[in-house]
Chain A
Amino acid sequence: MEKRVLFRSGWLPWLLLTPQLAVITVFFFWPASQALLQSLQMQDAFGTSTEWVGLQNFRQLFTDEAYLDSFKTTAWFSLLVAALGISISLVLAVFADRIVRGAMFYKTFLILPYAVAPAVAGVLWVFMFSPTLGVVAYGLEKIGIHWNHLLDSGHALTLIVLAAVWKQISYNFLFFLAGLQSIPKSLIEAAAMDGAGPWRRFWSIQFPLLTPTTFFLLVINMVYAFFDTFAIVDATTQGGPGRDTAILVYKVYYDGFKALDLGGSAAQSVVLMVIVIALTVVQFRYVEKKVTY
């Protein structure tokens, strides 16, 4: 799409673009290309010599048990976060859509978690589930569940999933609500006149018409679980127990900044870049085309 009427100037557009181009060159293209270069290099422990190793970092990565485990953890984690977050929010949005009185009140509360920083959300949830003083852990103890996310990796994964879903409910809820409200009322009314009850109307009209929204949210939630949950993991389990909740982003950080394996960390960054690009492409290709109708 182009404007019919344009301004003419040889230098002004460049001047206008300079700030943005400068910032993305220095802090985006340069680092991203460095990540690509480093992923093909290996440095000795003191950083004094660097040699080209080709794809060896990647080969090492995909034979590394710990990395493959981290992949599996991330896959489980993002799947659970997306599935739980989307279904809970859908239920809330469908009922919120029915409500006339008090809708604003409920909505205001439900959007609050969006404002809470992931790290703060992590701290809140770790406080509730702390094995020695957490309220929820205490309650679980009473019904016979011995909660300890510091020792049990299943518990640890549950904790980060819960915190991550809690934070994402607002986002999913708002999009589902917007989606529901854009469905023409006449469709619902016609179906009601033909004798379809609320249950039937949801499955035959609302749910199918929400498919694009659902698919869009699926991609967004995957990206969220992959990248934005670093702070939640760092504030709750720190990848533990062992490395059982070390999702991919956490591992990039840990290997690069704690274990100082630059080549390995850069190779992991490159793998992550490929994943984000793939997810973005999926989003652009399919979400725009409105999936199924």
Chain B
Amino acid sequence: MVERNPVLNVLSHAVMWLGVAIVAFPLYLAFVASSHTAQDIVQAPMPLLPGGNLWETYKTALLGGGDGAGSTAPVARMMWVSFVTAMVITVGKIAISLLSAFAVVYFRFPFKQLCFWAIFVTLMLPVEVRIGPTYQVVSDLGMLNSYAGLTVPLIASATATFLFRQFFLTVPDELVEAARMDGAGPMRFFKDVLVPLSSTSIAALFVIQFIYGWNQYLWPLLATTSEDMYPVVIGIKRMIAGGDAANDWNVVMATAILAMLPPALVVVLMQKWFVKGLVDTEK
């Protein structure tokens, strides 16, 4: 701090509290709603303090079978689908990117530049702009309503490849020379030197990709039609149907809390890597 200025300090904290309030209010409200019965919430204004129906609501949400107008599928299953999807996307992306970045950085081979640009171009087009044809491909391959259909098309992007390429370029050449002198082949070098060195980058990428995978919406909306393959983010949308009073808003809000819990935990507990990942993937 440059100078002592009590007024400015108080103002700083006031602004931060305001920011926290804006950010936290929707989350708090969701929690409060999830702790009441559906009838309590429909009476405007809804209560602003937690009620006593917490356990019941979450049980109904997780096991399904509530009496809302929309979908009443069990959220426990959706959470599992979301988890598997997010993990496959994350691990798949990291694995194939490590391999291809290794190839691009540590080998010289014909058409290297072409391969590099082919991968580079995929950075530019998010899945949103090519949904129609991608849907046709996935449906022709019979991959609708499967984990493969939910995940593989989203692995087709080069963010991670670039991150690893940038990192590999900073690894000192002496390490390769030393490894070679000790008689290590390329794969041995990759496994014993390069991957361990990349562990912080891998951790950072893991956080970002997990959130990316968990929060996907448009693609799962197209690739799944059966209720038992809905990720939770799709499931919550399907719970809302008809007029406002017809929905079990307490169950919907409980689902919202459950849906944001895993990525929120990842962000808060792995904050350091999260910030690193965010900054690195955009460079």
Whether chains A and B associate is yes
State whether the Cβ of B256 lies closer than 8 Å to any Cβ in chain A: yes
On chain A, the residues within 8 Å of B27 by CB distance are: 112, 116, 124
Residues of A within 8 A of B107 (CB): 6-9, 12-13, 16
**Interface residue tally on A, bucketed by range:** 35 or more
Given contacts A16-B103, A120-B260, A220-B282, contact A106 B29 (CB under 8 A): no
| A117 x B233 contact (CB < 8 A) | yes
Give the B interface residue count (CB, 8 A).
Answer: 109
Let me know if B56 is at the binding interface, CB within 8 A.
Answer: no
For the complex, give the distance between the alpha carbons of A122 and B189 in Å.
47
Taking a contact as CB atoms under 8 Å apart, the answer to whether B41 and A234 are in contact is: no
Q: Please indicate the chain B residues that have their CB under 8 angstroms from the CB of A135 in the complex.
A: 29, 45-46, 48
Q: Are B177 and A5 in contact (CB under 8 A)?
A: yes
What is the minimal beta-carbon distance from B265 to any residue of chain A, in angstroms? 8
Which chain B residues border A127 with CB–CB below 8 Å? 29-30, 33, 249, 252-253
- Assess whether B133 is in contact with A35, with CB atoms less than 8 Å apart: yes
Interface check B42, CB cutoff 8 A: yes
Expressed in whole angstroms, the Cα–Cα distance for A3 and B185 within the complex equals 17
**B63 contacts A by Cβ under 8 Å:** no
Q: A3-B106, A277-B124 are in contact. Are A31 and B134 (CB under 8 A)?
A: yes
Q: Would you give the 0/1 interface string for A1-36, flagging 1 where the beta carbon is closer than 8 Å to chain B?
A: 101111111101110110111011011111110110
Additional 5 contacts, C-beta under 8 A, given A123-B236, A127-B249: A16-B107, A112-B267, A117-B214, A174-B279, A269-B133
By beta carbon, the residue of chain A nearest B26 is A124
- Residues on A lying within 8 angstroms of B by beta carbon are 1, 3-10, 12-14, 16-17, 19-21, 23-24, 26-32, 34-35, 38, 88, 91-92, 95-96, 98-100, 102, 106-121, 123-128, 130-135, 138-139, 166, 169-171, 174-175, 178, 188-189, 192, 198, 201, 216, 220, 227-228, 230-231, 234-235, 249, 252-253, 256-257, 262, 265-266, 269, 272-273, 276-277, 280
**B282 to chain A: which residues have CB within 8 Å?**
216, 220
A111 to B259, CA, bound (A): 17
Contact A169 B5 (CB under 8 A): no
Q: How far is the CB of B142 from chain A (nearest CB, A)?
A: 13
Query: Cα distance A107–B272 when bound, in Å?
Result: 12
Instruction: Write out the residue numbers on chain A whose beta carbons fall within 8 Å of the beta carbon of B264.
Output: 112, 115-116
Q: Which of B95-114 contact A (CB under 8 A)?
A: 95-97, 99-100, 102-109, 112
Interface string of B123-162 (1 = CB under 8 A from A): 1111011111111111000000000000011011110010
Q: Using CB atoms, name the residue of chain B closest to A99.
A: B12
Q: A91-B15, A110-B20 are in contact. Are A171 and B278 (CB under 8 A)?
A: yes
Name the prevailing secondary structure of the B interface residues. Answer: helix
State the CA gap A191–B115 with chains docked (Å): 50
B233 in contact with A119 (CB, 8 Å):
yes
B99-A23 in contact (CB<8A) = no
4 A-B pairs closest in CB distance: A231-B217, A31-B133, A34-B133, A117-B215
The reply to whether A28 and B20 contact each other, CB–CB distance below 8 Å, is no
> Is B91 in the interface zone, CB < 8 Å from A?
no
Question: B186 at interface (Cβ–Cβ under 8 A)?
Answer: yes
- Nearest neighbor of A269 in chain B, beta-carbon distance: B129
Chain A: minimal CB distance from B228 (Å)? 19
CA of A139 to CA of B236 in the docked complex: distance in angstroms?
26
Mark out the residues of chain B between 219 and 248 whose CB falls within 8 Å of any chain A CB in the assembled complex. 221-222, 233-234, 236-237, 240, 243-245
Q: B16 near A95 (CB under 8 angstroms)?
A: yes
B199: CB under 8 A from chain A?
no
